[in-house]
Structure 1
């Protein structure tokens, strides 16, 4: 559980660091459009630190997924929105409303309940049919992401957000479906390709959603997709269970944590500085 929470802290902090660096790069003089902004951002320690945190977060996520039920890890990862909110309040001088501070507390309470109720990961290895199903979902997410600009404007953010959530959910499930990291085993395992394709397709869909729709709607849809889907797969097909007699607490904790994350959905993309905020200096 510490690894899952550590991953959430890494992802949430990385979002803000990269936003600070990208905004500083966008106001610097230079050419090259978006590519130029990215190159200037890559010369800043904040952006590089954010990338390093993303990498560390992924490693911690994999460790957590090999030890905990999927429902616990997915809820913990959704709590990265709470981390983003708190860090943004500090670094970007974003003023959190009273309800948003309450939502941060709700997320923490839900995760505490999950930590108490979670058992060990399920003992089922998963079938080949499930591996191919995850690969099929990843292909579907990629198709939705590529067609993002063709989707109707009404509901576009919702559809792309859900697609991104399902893609990240595929990554979580695929980690559990990889039994061996030997190259020969990885090459013939459909879960390997589901993991790679699902992660890439999820980022594509999320990027399109944030550019073409409401950040709040897209992020809320993503949270639903990346939490409920893996939780169901873990319980139904992989044998994830709770501690004896604490199933009710796990369900309550899951619902509470996800509800708190949904309340913080506007932080799916690091928020802009408030008009009265002091500018963030770049080094």
Structure 2
């Protein structure tokens, strides 16, 4: 197979992976958003979700997405695959709004395009590469502590606000932890390549499990807190940002630092922030939030039983 054809198939697989991620987000957010308000930041939420067929279907589609990502990365570079994965926003946000009986307007379309464009420009401009994920615990402590502070502050502030901003802040918290998970996954893979037996005597695999579970818990609470349009763009923006930051600061990865690259990164961040703010303050998204509140109330009433 020629290199050009490999890149084409890699791109198609990445788009398929992005589509699967969109479906995953839609199914899981729909399931989580219907749960009663008193389950927020409670294990009751996860217990209820693992018994929900729609949520489980989302997990199944997520595994399909991972398969497509593996194919894409086997045929093409990360610099091609990662930007195409964020195409999920183009599918997920409009469908999630329509699913609730609303119609996405020009403002919301513009916001989605800004977020996607910002992600693509930022990732391509930075283009991280190289690095060694096997670093001493003394250096990892800075990353672990930093993520703990970011996730904790996002949760605290999120509890102080309501509506789409709460969902965005919870999403920031969850994505920060998942960004750490990506770094821990890279370290675990590197350990496995060195010595499989020794890997399970180190701390990284077990911290990876904790980070995975904590990240999932926080993401589901973001889905529970508000519309998909308020959470998914923040997660798509935060996860690569955290991963790249850890890669550069901890692993010693190299990023482009030329004037054009830095300008592109700055422009990408500005577009990202602008798009997220537009979505969080959108009247369409806020109406969607009200509908989800009604669903929560109906679910709570149905589960408690109507008094005679």
| TM-score between the two structures when normalised by the length of structure 2 | 0.58
- Alpha-carbon spacing, 1:260–1:172, altered in 2? closer, same or farther (3 Å): farther
Q: CA deviation at 1:101?
A: 0.6
- Alpha-carbon spacing, 1:94–1:190, altered in 2? closer, same or farther (3 Å): farther
Question: Which position in structure 2 is the counterpart of 1:181?
Answer: 192
- Alpha-carbon spacing, 1:81–1:194, altered in 2? closer, same or farther (3 Å): farther
Runs of at least 5 residues in structure 2 that lack an aligned partner in the other structure: 1-9, 37-43, 293-308
Question: Which position in structure 1 is the counterpart of 2:95?
Answer: 87
Task: Give runs of aligned pairs for residues 1-283 of structure 1, distance below 5 A.
Answer: 2=11, 6-19=16-29, 38=49, 41-42=52-53, 47-58=55-66, 68=78, 73=82, 80-114=88-122, 117=125, 119=127, 121-126=128-133, 127-129=135-137, 130-134=139-143, 144=152, 153-154=159-160, 157=166, 160-177=170-187, 178-181=189-192, 183-208=196-221, 225-236=238-249, 237-242=251-256, 246-248=260-262, 250-252=264-266, 254-255=268-269, 258-259=272-273, 262=276, 263-264=278-279, 271=288
The CA RMSD measured in Å over matched residues stands at 5.0
Higher helix share: 2
Asked if structure 2 preserves the Cα contact closer than 8 Å seen for 1:82 and 1:264, the reply is: no
CA distance in 1, matches of 2:268, 2:257: 14
CA distance in 2, matches of 1:118, 1:196: 29
Q: CA deviation at 1:256?
A: 5.3
Q: CA deviation at 1:166?
A: 1.8
- Alpha-carbon spacing, 1:230–1:257, altered in 2? closer, same or farther (3 Å): farther
Aligned residues: 259
Question: Which position in structure 1 is the counterpart of 2:302?
Answer: none
Runs of at least 5 residues in structure 1 that lack an aligned partner in the other structure: 27-32, 276-283
**Which segment drifts farther, 204-213 or 59-68?**
59-68
Q: CA deviation at 1:167?
A: 0.5
Q: CA deviation at 1:118?
A: 5.8
CA distance in 2, matches of 1:249, 1:4: 26
